[in-house]
Amino acid sequence: MKKQRIKRDRMLTNFMSLLLEASFFLLFVCVRERVFVVIERDNKRDREREREREREELLGVAGPADRNLLLFFTLMTI
């Protein structure tokens, strides 16, 4: 009787250990994916800012006719 209880307790302990390990793994995966999403969003935002800065630099030195042409090509590339 005592051996059965020890065996059952050991099985429960192993099961709980596996559950705990699985939950930590899932938590790690979720956090890692979230970090990658945030990094990708920041990179995208930085690229958009860089494009906007380049566009402003080009518009600043171009005349009105050149601005229309630049706007046309900008819209065509989107």
Q: Does residue 64 register a pLDDT over 70? A: no
Structure tokens given for 67: 């601005």
pTM of the model: 0.46
Instruction: Kindly calculate the radius of gyration of the chain based on its CA atoms and give it in whole angstroms.
Output: 29
Q: How far is CA 20 from CA 13, 16, 25, in A?
A: 10, 6, 9
Question: How is residue 1 annotated by DSSP?
Answer: -
Overall number of domains in the chain: 1
Residue range of the domain that includes 8: 2-77
Tens digit of each residue's pLDDT (9 = 90 or more) over 17-56: 999 999 999 888 888 888 888 888 888 999 998 988 888 7
